[in-house]
Amino acid sequence: MKIYDKLIKKEEKLAVVGLGYVGLPIALEFAKKLNVIGFDINPERIEMMKNNIDPSNELIESDFDGCSIDFTSDLQDLNAAKFFIIAVPTPIDKNKKPNIKPLISASTTVGKVLKKGDYVVFESTVYPGCTEDDCVPVLEELSGLKFKTDFKVGYSPERINPGDKVHTLSSIIKVSSGCDSLSAEEIAKTYELVVQAGVHRASSIKVAEAAKIIENTQRDVNIALINELSVIFNKMDINTYEVLEAAGTKWNFLNFNPGLVGGHCIGVDPYYLTHKAKELGYHAQIINSGRAVNDSMGAYVGRTVAKKIISSGTSMKDAKVLVMGATFKEDVSDIRNSKVVDVINELKSFSCHVDVIDPHADSKELMEEYEFSLVENLSSIYNAVIVAVNHYEYAILKEKYFTSILADNGILVDLKGIYRGEIQNLNYWTL
């Protein structure tokens, strides 16, 4: 009997290793159809999930209803699984090089419990070749088993968009692959249990890996172009959004907006591709240039705001700035690789006072990660207010609110252009 049939008959269990932003939603969806083991190395997170609490604040209590899942941090519990999904983060280090240590660690964990006939599917974003060249040898060494002969491996990249209630796991076409034709079909059929939109069967693991990495690389490069244009247009005193609105009237114009590009995907994934290209002796000029532009935008915003404060007649040492939003995108609690931090650090380099607020971010987490915390109460009148993240709570604000917290010569900085056309009396600037 094939693995798919054993899973749906609940004769075998599926395990998800890594229960973060990606892993937990996948585990719960499968747990509505199969017997599932949810594994995470953090016991505190496991206890929260046992009580129907998502540590990432993406899911609500009812999302756990009707799920046949056992949450655990005990390695021995994984012995009961036959089909493993590894969904751990793949960040970059301080030198912007791929850090696959979490992936290797998860592979080590699975390798210790791997048995003949088992399946291992990787969901983490990696460079093409990583699954077979870096992860499979770990599985073989720890298990003593032979790849393809004793166990099967596949790759199916995550496409979950944090904070997006429309494009969810079940509504996004899933790309899947296997190490041979049999495993490719078994893996695809398994994912079809939870992905209503369907599954695209990639011809190989490397094709699936490459498909994922270019999704975010393409967006990164396109946003970089618009960011560079916004810098140029700012020097010309031209509103970038008005330019984009005019250009967008052509049927084949691609719609991208300027902004800070952070997070664990778009701001990270291109470095995995450029790293692999460099190993192969090729310098990825366009991708690297796009990354350089996007990585510079936070400092650019900070410098621009500082110049505007100084030109208004206020010394930066006496200036107070309020930054609204610290997460990497709207309506999420995720602060990983938030480029708002670059804005804050640049402003602080001018010796001004910076307050930060965010209804979704955790102050303690910000202090541990970036060495600043949120303020509970606004201190006084500000020389500049920067709306860095378009959280719902900020998007509904009106000019009257900003007038009440800004000095007479203060400036409202709207990085997302959400108040464009609504601000009549304040000094207003956007990218």
Largest CA distance in the chain: 78
Q: Which of 293, 307, 294 is nearest to 411 (CA)?
A: 307
Q: Which residues are catalytic?
A: 265
Q: Are 282 and 248 in contact (CB under 8 A)?
A: no
Q: Does a structural domain hold residue 412?
A: yes
Q: Does a structural domain hold residue 231?
A: no
Mind listing the pLDDT tens digit for each residue in 207-221?
999 999 999 999 999
Structural domain that includes position 200 = 3-204
Give mean pLDDT, residues 12-25.
Answer: 94
Strand, coil or helix: 322: strand
CB atoms under 10 Å from CB of 431, counted, come to: 25
Q: Does a structural domain hold residue 57?
A: yes
DSSP 131: I
For residue 133, the domain's CATH number is: 3.40.50.720
The pTM of the full predicted model, rounded to 2 decimals, is 0.92
Share of the chain above pLDDT 90, in %: 89
Task: Please give the pLDDT value at position 245.
Answer: 94
Strand, coil or helix: 32: coil
Task: Please give the pLDDT value at position 164.
Answer: 66
pLDDT classification of 384: cutoffs 50, 70, 90: very high
One domain for residues 375 and 268: yes
One domain for residues 330 and 195: no
Give mean pLDDT, residues 259-288.
Answer: 92
Q: Are 16 and 34 in contact (CB under 8 A)?
A: no
∠ at Cα 424 (423, 428), nearest 5°? 55
Report whether pLDDT(11) > 70: yes
Report whether pLDDT(26) > 90: yes
Give mean pLDDT, residues 111-126.
Answer: 96
- Among 93-97, 114-118, 167-171, 343-347, which stretch is predicted with the lowest mean pLDDT? 167-171
* CA–CA gap between residue 271 and residue 174 (Å, rounded): 23
Give mean pLDDT, residues 50-75.
Answer: 93
One domain for residues 415 and 344: yes
* CA–CA gap between residue 267 and residue 291 (Å, rounded): 8
Report whether pLDDT(108) > 90: yes
One domain for residues 158 and 288: no
Distance of CA 102 to the CA centre of its chain: 16
Report whether pLDDT(252) > 90: yes
One domain for residues 70 and 140: yes
Task: Please give the pLDDT value at position 83.
Answer: 98
Q: In total, how many domains does the chain have? A: 2
Report whether pLDDT(374) > 70: yes
pLDDT classification of 379: cutoffs 50, 70, 90: confident
Following DSSP, what letter does each residue of 179-244 receive, concatenated? Answer: SSHHHHHHHHHHHHTT-TT-EEE-SSHHHHHHHHHHHHHHHHHHHHHHHHHHHHHHHTT--HHHHH
Q: Does a structural domain hold residue 115?
A: yes
If one compares 165 and 224, the residue with the highest pLDDT of the two is: 224
Kind plus residue range of the DSSP H or E element containing 174:
strand 174-178
Over the chain, what is the mean pLDDT? 94
Q: Does a structural domain hold residue 178?
A: yes
pLDDT classification of 162: cutoffs 50, 70, 90: low
CB-facing half-sphere around the CA of 87: CA atoms within 13 A: 23
Task: Please give the pLDDT value at position 163.
Answer: 66
One domain for residues 199 and 241: no
Q: Does a structural domain hold residue 210?
A: no
Share of the chain above pLDDT 70, in %: 99
One domain for residues 159 and 261: no
pLDDT classification of 324: cutoffs 50, 70, 90: very high
Task: Please give the pLDDT value at position 44.
Answer: 94
One domain for residues 280 and 150: no
One domain for residues 12 and 122: yes
One domain for residues 241 and 343: yes
- Among 145-149, 163-167, 319-323, 379-383, which stretch is predicted with the lowest mean pLDDT? 163-167
Q: Does a structural domain hold residue 101?
A: yes
Mind listing the pLDDT tens digit for each residue in 185-197?
999 999 999 999 9
One domain for residues 260 and 347: yes
Q: Does a structural domain hold residue 229?
A: no
One domain for residues 68 and 184: yes
* CA–CA gap between residue 162 and residue 178 (Å, rounded): 26
Report whether pLDDT(110) > 80: yes
